[in-house]
Amino acid sequence: MNIDEIEKLLKEGKVEDALKIVKKEAKGKDNDYAKTFFNTGASNKKFAETMENKEEFKLAINYFKLAEKLGNKKLIEFARKGQAAAHNNLGNLLDDLKRYEEAEKEYMEALIIDPNHVKAIINLGFTLSKIGRHRESEIELKKASKLDPDLLEAKYRESIEINPNSMEAHNNLGCWLADLERHDEAEGEYGKAIKLNPKHPTPHNNLGVLLESLKRYDEAEEEYKRAFELCDDLTFKKVIARNFCILYFSFFEKEKIEEHREQLQKIKEFFRENNDEKEFLVDACNSYRDIMRYFPAKEHNKHNRARKKLGEVKFYLERCDEKKTFRTC
């Protein structure tokens, strides 16, 4: 068999053409040939990792593909794992080069082959975060957390070791720790993120959410205020505004409500400036519904007092004529 010809075809991505040549010569020894190509693919993969060579990764992937088409069930499984690992590692190389869209594609290829490839899921989540696709990133990282939380935590901490002055790295670790209800650690990471970049709204907002969940409402309000004042992204600013609405229903004393009237009015002005005034009422209604989830049904007194806030919001917002919208929330 002309190995050079096979490799030339694989370098060109012509796996099927290479397979035809091999089939002619294998003559019932398909699995033996598959082992050879698998081992060659593994060698190419190691070489690619050492040399950080994109083309060698692609060649390794194609050797694994060829082995998969020739091997028995066990070898097919190994070949597919090899492909997934090579795609993942190629993704890492591209991510390091800041070629994030290409990296995303490689991670997706790995996950098509092995949907539970935890490293690829984690790496995809981190890459998506780097290009601002935070919601998609969160979905991937939650998957990884269920599959292997220790590996995910190690990845978060590794990213901090690589770049200890990264606000994003500390903020992301804080989010993950908060999801695990490791509140003190999460608060510490948000604090580090804020110290590194005090003018970024995201860690302030996230710290506010954490403090509110701990019923430290006054501190939460201060973080939301900072986030709201610092934010220049309209969509994110609406998220922060809605958090304010939810927080508002966490205050039950009449004096507290009056005390925070000015801030609520400021948020209303924000919606008005963006031709979106009635959205404030919609969010206020949604906030009421959300805050009810915080209290057991037996706490009738709190429930009724919170319900009254709905009317007070209407009063403070000058009884806007959006009653239909208000009722459909």
Q: Do 123 and 19 reside in the same domain of the chain?
A: yes
**pLDDT tens, 71-122?**
898 999 999 999 999 999 999 999 999 999 999 999 999 999 999 999 999 9
**pLDDT tens, 20-58?**
988 888 877 888 888 999 999 899 899 888 888 889 999
Three-class SS of residue 116? coil
Q: Do 142 and 7 reside in the same domain of the chain?
A: yes
Residue 239 lies in a domain: no
Residue 98 lies in a domain: yes
Q: Give the CATH number, domain containing residue 206.
A: 1.25.40.10
Q: How far apart are CA 119 and CA 156, in angstroms?
A: 12
Residue with tokens 């370098």: 11
Q: Contact, 61 vs 77, CB < 8 A?
A: no
Q: Examine the pLDDT at 296 and tell me if it is beyond 60.
A: no
Residue 169 lies in a domain: yes
Q: Do 28 and 124 reside in the same domain of the chain?
A: yes
Residue 281's pLDDT is what? 53
What angle separates helix 73-96 from helix 54-70, to the nearest 10 degrees? 170
17, with CB counted inside 10 A (0-12, 13-18, 19+), is: middle
- What percent of the chain has a predicted confidence (pLDDT) above 90? 47
In the chain, which ranges are E strands?
none
Q: Which residue has the higher pLDDT, 165 or 247?
A: 165
Both tokens of 184, joined, read 């003190």
Q: Do 8 and 93 reside in the same domain of the chain?
A: yes
Give the pLDDT band (50/70/90) at residue 286: low
Q: Do 249 and 321 reside in the same domain of the chain?
A: yes
Q: Which residue has the higher pLDDT, 65 or 249?
A: 65
**pLDDT tens, 233-263?**
887 887 887 787 767 666 555 556 566 667 6
Residue 322's pLDDT is what? 34
Total domains present in the chain: 3
Q: Which residue has the higher pLDDT, 105 or 316?
A: 105
Q: What average pLDDT does the chain have? A: 81
Three-class SS of residue 328? coil
Residue 297's pLDDT is what? 44
Residue with tokens 């594609």: 105
Q: Do 165 and 300 reside in the same domain of the chain?
A: no
Sign of the dihedral through C-alpha 104, 99, 135, 146? positive
Q: Do 280 and 296 reside in the same domain of the chain?
A: yes
Q: Do 200 and 309 reside in the same domain of the chain?
A: no
Q: Contact, 269 vs 230, CB < 8 A?
A: no
Question: What residues have CB less than 8 Å from 129, skipping those under 6 apart?
Answer: 137, 168, 172
DSSP, residue by residue, 276-311: -HHHHHHHHHHHHHHHHTTS-TT-HHHHHHHHHHHH
324, with CB counted inside 10 A (0-12, 13-18, 19+), is: exposed
Residue 237 lies in a domain: no
Question: What residues have CB less than 8 Å from 253, skipping those under 6 apart?
Answer: none
Q: Do 52 and 138 reside in the same domain of the chain?
A: yes
Q: Do 196 and 277 reside in the same domain of the chain?
A: no
Count Cβ neighbours within 10 Å for each residue of 238-258 and write b for 16 or more, e otherwise.
bbbbbbbbbbbbbbeeeeebe
> What domain range includes position 138?
1-147
Residue 249's pLDDT is what? 61
Residue 314 lies in a domain: yes
Q: Do 216 and 255 reside in the same domain of the chain?
A: no
Return contacts of 38-41, CB within 8 angstroms, 24+ apart: 38/63, 38/64, 38/67, 38/71, 38/75, 38/78, 38/79, 38/82, 41/66, 41/67, 41/79, 41/82, 41/86
Give residue 91's identity as a one-letter amino acid code.
G
Q: Which of 181, 201, 232 is the last residue in one of the domains?
A: 232
Q: Do 157 and 96 reside in the same domain of the chain?
A: no
